[in-house]
Structure 1
Amino acid sequence: MAVSTVSCTSGVKTTVAINSNSAQVTIPDKIDFTFHVKPILSDRCFKCHGPDKNAIEGGLSLHTAEGAYIALGKNKDHHAIVPGNLEKSELINRIYTSDESLLMPPPESNLVLEEHEKEILKKWIEQGAEYKTHWAFIAPEKPEVPKIKQANWGNNEIDQFVLSKLKENGLAPNKKASKEKLLRRVFFDLTGLPPSVGQIEKFVNNNSPLAYEQVIDSLLQTQDYAEHMSAEWMDIARYADTHGYQDDFERIMWPWRDWVIHAFSKNMPYDQFVTYQLAGDLLPNANAEQILATGFNRNHKITFEGGVIPEEYRVEYVEDRAVTFGTAFLGLTFECARCHDHKYDPISQKEHFELYSFFNNIDELGLTPGGAGKIPKPYMTITEKEKNGVLSFVQMQKTEMKEIPVMVMNEMEDIRPSFILNRGVYDQPTTQVYPNTPQSILPFPSEYPQNRLGLAKWLFHKDNPLTARVAVNRFWQRMFGNGLVASSFDFGNQGSLPTHPKLLDFLAIKFREEGWDTRKILKYIALSATYQQSTEVTKELQELDPENQLLARAPRLRLTAEVIRDQALKISGLLNREVGGPSVKPYQPSGIWEATTGGGGGSTATYVTSTGKDLYRKSLYTFWKRTVPPPSMMTFDAASRDLCTVKRQETNTPLQALVLLNDPQLIEASRLLAKTAMDVHIEKSDQISFIFKQATSRDPDEEELHMLDNYYSSMLEKVKNKGIGAEDYLSIGAFEVKGEYSKYKLAALALTAHSILNLDETISRG
């Protein structure tokens, strides 16, 4: 089997035969440390020869040039790497030796170097063994935009970067998607809802060159956009309506969620959006909105279990805040440096606890006395006064409570000392540390206050190499399914390399220089020809680039758990568009909460399904119990909300098909779709076409319509012959269909609609 590696920095390649299996491996002419060598060293060597100074074997560190070139042994008479000299480089001897006692990596590590990887290391040393700082820790510089011409293709700089990479690899961009598919795509990406049939027809018939841009502008101004952006932020902020742990009592944090929606609705600049959440309480003359925003830091789990050691859990809360900061804003795995120096990234245990100390100075308890109903301090109380003032966006009218307590941040006057914890254990403090940031990223400026506000300033310092990159990478992930760095949660040595590093830097600098404007950068991406490509894929392209890293086509993505449900509500006419307020409880299998409750009672002991319009609110507002998250959403890979999540898993399981076939919400939506189709069309084929277009944003072709017509006929036969109980099927769900309808025809058409809602095309973005 042929294996190839393609240089990210050079189009010049040489092909060599490796061993007797005659596999052809493409080795770049010029070896680049960042893209070719470091991934090998990080995967195979850093565990014993990496940044963790307490785990270095044989005195050899391979993560820096100084450590790699150092003289080794008692007599300091040999070297692992001698630039330009293979014979004197012991690393080469060790990776090629047949003596298992000397072989590296050692056999017991279960790590193996492939032959082409050995050749890369060999060629690298021959070429001088040049080391480079990890790409993500170098501040981005505005790259020169490639000047590549392609007839009738390319709308902005994004396309020039993408086209340059395609040309390097002998590929061309795909054709533009049809107007129907493009509209469906941008609607889902920006609002989480499909376009209506009327909106599709209006767009298809609008031949103005500005039509698409006008659609984007209108979508970015909608409340749907603000809510859709907020849904993703709930994962990042690990939002839930309960505290987690054992009895998992209810908490009130929905006013903070209302603030997030409000912030996206007014297009709050990203730097302000993040600063409010990290340190709003520390801003000069902080108002209630800024303080409420700091609830971001308090969304972590909190225990109410009797018998726990309070300090142990208090330390866990601080750890969660620090790790969330690292994941959400820096794309780094700070948790790996809690017990020892990071094995792969230049983050020491000392630096971990220096970051920890920024979040260690609020007056909180590891165990709140009083049990269910008690609010862990510190918290603020929202009253009618605040509601009628700066917090007018908080939807208090949807609750009977006159005062709403919400957990927030509030610094203690006497600073709590922080220590390096031996092996990360709460009761083993060692050396005292003070607020600081990792030197490898950006030294903490001495003029900044040593608190969370200073940390926020550091985060948005012009020389911080990560903040803007991590943010725009998530925006790209939203629009393309994967970020330019696929591991959006890890920009470190073990993370993915950027597929288009110069494009990533271009976008990061653009985002920063244009005022951290989220709407503007999303519009810029959506306007690119790269985004507007068709999803069609040739056999050749599937073989050359199966993961679509080169972006020669648009990705075909399944809708998220929330959007699958919201789409069904929208197209059936059931969707309740109310914004904000307390969480609601839509359909869920009975008995799940009771089976897992710890016996503590309270509002989370039994699931009480909402009634009326609350049943049909957007999934953003679904009550989230940490120990038993909404099962249908979890089946479709929703985050558990236990920890900060910036990228969800993507799975395909039989359970997903079972949810689509049996979820009462989808069955109920199918019934309403069928009713509406019967109201507006007389002919059966027109009714089926109406439902199909509502669900897929296009008309069915002749073959599809014929198949669905046959399916309808078979379902009609079944319900008439009692193979399916029409009345039972039509009674699923709370919404009643009123009017004179043949129960047999309604049931048959509802079953047909249900099948359409199960189509892969229906639950895909395009």
Structure 2
Amino acid sequence: MIGKARSSILGAFLVSPLVFSLFIAFSCENQKQPTSAASPETVSYNLHIRPILSENCFACHGPDANKREAGLRLDREDDALAALRESPEKNAIVPGKPHESEAFVRILTEESTERMPPPSSNLALSERQINLIEKWIRQGAVYEPHWAFLPPKQGNLPEIESSDWVQNEIDFFVLAAMQEKGLQPNPRAGMQQLVRRIHFDLTGLPPAPGLVTRAGKSDFSVEDLIDSLFSVPAYGEKMAIAWMDVARYADSHGYQDDYYRTQWPWRDWVIHAFNQNMPYDQFVTWQLAGDLLPNPTKEQILATGFNRNHKITEESGAIDEEYRVMYAIDRTNTFGKAMLGITLECAQCHDHKYDPIAQKEYFQLYAFFNNVAEKGIEEASPGFSKKSPAKLPLMEITDEDTREILQFINMPDSNRRVQTLLANMSKGTNYNSLLAEADVLKVSVMADLDSLRPTFILDRGAYDAPTEAVSPGTPAALLKYPDHLPQNRLGLARWLFDPENPTTARVFVNRIWQEIFGLGLVDTPGDFGMQGNLPVNQPLLDWLAVDFMDNGWDIQYLLKKIMLSATYQQSSTVMQDKFKTDPDNRYLSRFSRQRLKAEEIRDLVLASSGLLNREIGGPSVKPYQPEGMWEAATSGRGNLSAYQQDTGKYLYRRGLYTFIKRTVPPPQMMLFDASNRDACEVERVKTDTPLQALAMMNDTYVLEASRVLAEKLLSQRNTVAGKIHEAFFKIVGRQPDEKEMAILSDNYAGFLQIYQADVKRAARVLAVGEFPADESIPVDEKAALMQVISLIYNLEETNTKS
């Protein structure tokens, strides 16, 4: 066994992933790897040939007409089989005859001036790749359409050897794929482990200890637990975390001066929409085009703040049109990555080199987002600090709005709002203007011009180089834009959710799968195109996509379907033979161990210690962070030039509400791989670094939480062992075993002896955080138990969903 879901205390500090990664690297390096995989009986264009051509040939012989060499195009069958422009007596590919196929002959030639890929490209085909191409041509050189550009079809459930393990349709597909690889599923996880897993997946918070205890009873129902968590407001907060990355939400405009912005009411709407289980098609339609719906409500208009979350400059020397174009480009690229799973940005300057998307089609899509009544540079405006926290077009939200029609917005009281504005003000602010600003929130939303702004193809993507005029449209390779739809963002949303659109449902289902299992069925979630990786289980992905559409784009239905599968409910124990066969667990013969997200690590610490402020929504907050970070990385201008830390209950809000200044993102979040929100992100990088361990061992909020929990436990009438046991149970979500209890008890005794001999040292250890201390508890006992709790917070198992 390489590891267990249940980590031992020994060597379990958070730094252990670094050691583990070195161990894995050494193990993999010393495993005997086959020099080449066996040649398939039938060579597939999609599975075997297209990846080779895409990597080595399409840059010069692909969709980009501007860069195409010798007039040869290898990504389309008719072009590849046609006579060569420069040698009409020859063909690049002759089905059945590899050695009469000029493309293959050029691969084999020893003549450097004739060889393909050319030596100057630093590309070369392996022997196996050459053999695959030869076999494919010999078998008829059959081209296949790109899988992601065809609408998903729901095939029959695959046949499997035994159905005893299966709990729903998902398991048929997963088990069939496992059995092809010679794998078998893990046993079911323990109920306490499942309860913790489900809580983190649906709320981002640890379960209450009482619920974990009840999970062992025979009448406990996983389905009932899932249903109950859907109704908890924390569900919307958990789901919003990933959507903030997609929507590039931040609390500052970005760029050098980086002023304050008030987009947080839009975040409150996102939480509300998830908690209302708004269908995905409606959820996205409102965000893309809520302002264009018939008689739009303020809520529908607020939803369009999604499109305005991009960076905005306020620098005097900037060129207005340049930045206005940049904003429209950002919205276009975000639409491609977030909704379509396509790298549209590659077609901004030229035809896409790998996918069949022309530069003209890029700017046709751009045209949908190019009619906003906005400016590239918008500096002076009346009111707060002579800088508006929102940019035109904007929507004003009053107290009356939040009482009557936007009740989900957590409008802070007047005193709190004034304090927030004071903390973000510049010198010379008029106090009366400040009070007026406190009565009204301003959020950047969408509103089109009364007239149509013309859209042009921009030569090499440059804002000042317009060429051919274009009308709104979409990439034909995905789905032709119907004539009956309006040529505006609402029409675009209808096109997006057309049942024949091949990527929309697949992309979202894949991201939900990624959120739960750590790796999508397509592990390039932002690229379903030619350069993206093939799905590990396309029949399952397509079945889920169609099922999702057939069930009304119901997000909770999709989550529940996944969580009730035997696939999801497996243990995370890693066996040596499985690790050799499938080290990344792509075939899901176990549940993947995943470190919690940055926000969730914070939430776990605060929740288990009792410090967490569970208030839903409202403005972002500024928790503890090292002094001088903002000041060292600022121009010295702007209302965010200095960091004004929050106090009281606002220090203990969930990670979702941490203030994000784009030029200086929150350090604790960034250490644990959170997005800096500069652009749309559909997948966070995953790193293991010593700095993460240092943060967990030294960050103020972790030490403060350890102190507060120690005080609460020491105020109870039970033994030291009982207090340690309860701390472990609250934090890790299971009972410690005897060996773990012995280590932790010895740890406590050792620290107690140190602090009894040096009470001043104990006092220094306890002097952390702003939460009031309980002075009635002896400092030596408090400091000793605090150190034990800090150790538990640093266990790898604590910060892992498994």
1:266 aligns with 2:276: yes
CA contact (8 A) 1:330 1:466 kept: yes
Looking at structure 1, the residues matched to 359 and 440 of structure 2 have their Cα atoms a distance apart, in angstroms, of 43
Which residue pairs with 2:560 in the alignment? 523
1:627 aligns with 2:663: yes
What SS is found at the alignment partner of 1:204? coil
Looking at structure 1, the residues matched to 300 and 58 of structure 2 have their Cα atoms a distance apart, in angstroms, of 43
Looking at structure 2, the residues matched to 107 and 535 of structure 1 have their Cα atoms a distance apart, in angstroms, of 47
Quote how far apart the aligned CAs of 1:684 are. 1.8
Which of 621, 640, 654 pairs up with 1:584?
A: 621
1:404 aligns with 2:419: no
Which residue pairs with 1:200 in the alignment? 212
Quote how far apart the aligned CAs of 1:724 are. 8.0
Which of 708, 711, 734 pairs up with 1:698?
A: 734
Query: Could you give the per-residue CA deviations for residues 132-169 of structure 1, whole angstroms, max 9, x where no partner exists?
Result: 11100000111111132536311100000011111112
Which residue pairs with 2:17 in the alignment? none
Which residue pairs with 2:634 in the alignment? 597
CA contact (8 A) 1:435 1:451 kept: yes
Quote how far apart the aligned CAs of 1:563 are. 0.3
CA contact (8 A) 1:235 1:639 kept: yes
Equivalent positions of 1:94-109 (< 5 A) are: 94-109=106-121
Which residue pairs with 1:387 in the alignment? 402
Equivalent positions of 1:67-106 (< 5 A) are: 67-106=79-118
Equivalent positions of 1:109-508 (< 5 A) are: 109-150=121-162, 152-205=164-217, 207-208=218-219, 211-370=221-380, 373-374=387-388, 375-398=390-413, 399-400=417-418, 401-508=438-545
Query: Could you give the per-residue CA deviations for residues 245-266 of structure 1, whole angstroms, max 9, x where no partner exists?
Result: 1110001101111111110111
Letter in 2 for 1:406: V
Quote how far apart the aligned CAs of 1:93 are. 1.8
What SS is found at the alignment partner of 1:116? helix
Quote how far apart the aligned CAs of 1:483 are. 0.8
Which of 31, 35, 43 pairs up with 1:31?
A: 43
Which residue pairs with 1:710 in the alignment? 746
Q: Comparing 59-68 with 485-494, which one deviates more in the overlay?
A: 59-68
Looking at structure 2, the residues matched to 272 and 670 of structure 1 have their Cα atoms a distance apart, in angstroms, of 43
Letter in 2 for 1:114: S
CA contact (8 A) 2:379 2:387 kept: no
Letter in 2 for 1:668: E
CA contact (8 A) 1:226 1:262 kept: yes
Quote how far apart the aligned CAs of 1:611 are. 0.8
Which residue pairs with 1:765 in the alignment? 801
What SS is found at the alignment partner of 1:25? coil
Quote how far apart the aligned CAs of 1:622 are. 0.9
What SS is found at the alignment partner of 2:673? coil
CA contact (8 A) 1:718 1:724 kept: no
- Specify whether residues 75 and 106 from structure 1 end up closer, same or farther in structure 2 by C-alpha distance, changes over 3 A only: closer
Which residue pairs with 2:699 in the alignment? 663
Q: Comparing 713-722 with 355-364, which one deviates more in the overlay?
A: 713-722
Which residue pairs with 1:47 in the alignment? 59
Quote how far apart the aligned CAs of 1:487 are. 0.7
CA contact (8 A) 2:338 2:682 kept: yes
What SS is found at the alignment partner of 2:215? helix
Query: Could you give the per-residue CA deviations for residues 115-136 of structure 1, whole angstroms, max 9, x where no partner exists?
Result: 2111111111111111111100
Quote how far apart the aligned CAs of 1:701 are. 1.4
Looking at structure 2, the residues matched to 285 and 234 of structure 1 have their Cα atoms a distance apart, in angstroms, of 27
Which residue pairs with 1:689 in the alignment? 725
Which of 690, 709, 731 pairs up with 1:654?
A: 690
Looking at structure 1, the residues matched to 39 and 531 of structure 2 have their Cα atoms a distance apart, in angstroms, of 22
What SS is found at the alignment partner of 1:27? coil
Larger RCO: 1 or 2 (CA < 8 Å, sep 6+): 2
Which residue pairs with 2:646 in the alignment? 610
CA contact (8 A) 2:63 2:353 kept: yes
1:552 aligns with 2:566: no
Letter in 2 for 1:706: A
What SS is found at the alignment partner of 1:87? helix
Letter in 2 for 1:654: P
Runs of 4 or more off by more than 4 Å in structure 1?
none
Equivalent positions of 1:715-754 (< 5 A) are: 715-722=751-758, 725-754=761-790
Query: Could you give the per-residue CA deviations for residues 540-599 of structure 1, whole angstroms, max 9, x where no partner exists?
Result: 111110111111111000000000000000000000011111111111111111111212
CA contact (8 A) 2:700 2:768 kept: yes
What SS is found at the alignment partner of 1:67? helix
Letter in 2 for 1:273: F
CA contact (8 A) 2:58 2:354 kept: yes
- Specify whether residues 24 and 412 from structure 1 end up closer, same or farther in structure 2 by C-alpha distance, changes over 3 A only: closer
Q: Comparing 745-754 with 692-701, which one deviates more in the overlay?
A: 692-701
Quote how far apart the aligned CAs of 1:739 are. 4.9
CA contact (8 A) 2:337 2:343 kept: yes
Looking at structure 2, the residues matched to 117 and 547 of structure 1 have their Cα atoms a distance apart, in angstroms, of 24
Letter in 2 for 1:389: E
What SS is found at the alignment partner of 2:456? strand
Query: Could you give the per-residue CA deviations for residues 243-289 of structure 1, whole angstroms, max 9, x where no partner exists?
Result: 00111000110111111111011111110000000000000001100
Letter in 2 for 1:83: P
Letter in 1 for 2:398: T
Q: Comparing 504-513 with 394-403, which one deviates more in the overlay?
A: 394-403
Quote how far apart the aligned CAs of 1:73 are. 4.7
Looking at structure 2, the residues matched to 83 and 441 of structure 1 have their Cα atoms a distance apart, in angstroms, of 28
What SS is found at the alignment partner of 2:589? coil
Give 5+ residue unaligned stretches, structure 2: 1-32, 419-437
* Matched length: 743
CA contact (8 A) 1:562 1:633 kept: yes
Looking at structure 2, the residues matched to 355 and 617 of structure 1 have their Cα atoms a distance apart, in angstroms, of 39
Quote the RMSD (CA, aligned, Å).
Answer: 1.5
- Specify whether residues 703 and 681 from structure 1 end up closer, same or farther in structure 2 by C-alpha distance, changes over 3 A only: farther
What SS is found at the alignment partner of 1:728? helix
Q: Comparing 159-168 with 102-111, which one deviates more in the overlay?
A: 102-111
Which of 672, 676, 696 pairs up with 2:708?
A: 672
- Specify whether residues 151 and 437 from structure 1 end up closer, same or farther in structure 2 by C-alpha distance, changes over 3 A only: closer
Query: Could you give the per-residue CA deviations for residues 463-484 of structure 1, whole angstroms, max 9, x where no partner exists?
Result: 0001000010011011100110
Which residue pairs with 2:15 in the alignment? none
What SS is found at the alignment partner of 2:99? coil
CA contact (8 A) 2:711 2:774 kept: no
What SS is found at the alignment partner of 2:307? helix
Quote how far apart the aligned CAs of 1:231 are. 1.2
Quote how far apart the aligned CAs of 1:36 are. 1.3
Quote how far apart the aligned CAs of 1:211 are. 0.7
What SS is found at the alignment partner of 1:449? coil
CA contact (8 A) 1:681 1:687 kept: no
CA contact (8 A) 1:378 1:407 kept: yes
Which residue pairs with 2:573 in the alignment? 536
What SS is found at the alignment partner of 1:641? coil
Quote how far apart the aligned CAs of 1:680 are. 3.3
Looking at structure 1, the residues matched to 241 and 180 of structure 2 have their Cα atoms a distance apart, in angstroms, of 38
